[in-house]
Amino acid sequence: MRSKTVVKSVLITTLVLFVILVVHIIWVTRPIRNNAHNIAMARIDFQAPLNDAQGKAITQWLYAQKGVTHVLCNTSSKIAVFTFYPSQVNATQLASQLSRYMQIPATRYLPAKEEIENGCPVISVSTQQKIEQLTHWFIHSVNN
């Protein structure tokens, strides 16, 4: 009688774990819909002076890439910034492709973890905001 109960418990536990595994796999492999919540920004620093024509060419080339949503090239600071969907395009690869296309040395600027941690005062959020963000993220994850 006792061994039957043990077998039954093991079976139920295994079944529950299996269901959790299936739900997890579906969750992590679900297609992510591109929207404002999963957009990212990247910055490309050019190591040579840029003129207006080059600025326009950089802007046009970036806009032509799939997954790039908005571009701004500041020729005086030799910086191009753009937003993109990470699920569609790799910004680091894009930076090296752009460098080759323009024949100007350029690298993608990636801040270190420490730089991000003491970077932006506006991002410093209150507990209430953290809860709001978590709720917001959860609702959008469910919707997507």
Partner 1 sequence: MKKAKITLLVAFLGIVLALGSSCKKSNSTPSMPQTLYDSLGGTAMVPDPAMQGAMIEKGRLGIRSVVDSAIFVIAADTNINGYFKVLLQEVSSGNLSGFNALSKNLTDFFCVATGAKNFSYTGKDMVSAHNPATNPRMNGKAMNDDFDSFVADVVVAAKKNGLPDYLIARLGTIINSVRSQVVQA
Nearer to partner 1, 13 or 88 (CB): 88
Residues 15, 9: Cα–Cα separation, whole Å: 10
How many binding residues for partner 1 (CB under 8 A)? 42
What does the block give as tokens for 97? 């492709």
- Under rule CB under 8 A, residue 126 binds partner 1: yes
Q: Between the CA of residue 124 and those of 15, 30, 105, 135, what are the distances in Å? A: 43, 31, 35, 18
Of 1, 6, 53, 115, the one binding partner 1 (CB under 8 A) is: 115
The answer to whether the Cα torsion of 105, 73, 81, 37 is positive or negative is negative
- Under rule CB under 8 A, residue 25 binds partner 1: no
Residues that bind partner 1 (CB under 8 A): 35-43, 70, 72-74, 77, 79-81, 83, 86, 91, 109-111, 115-126, 128-129, 132-133, 136-137, 141
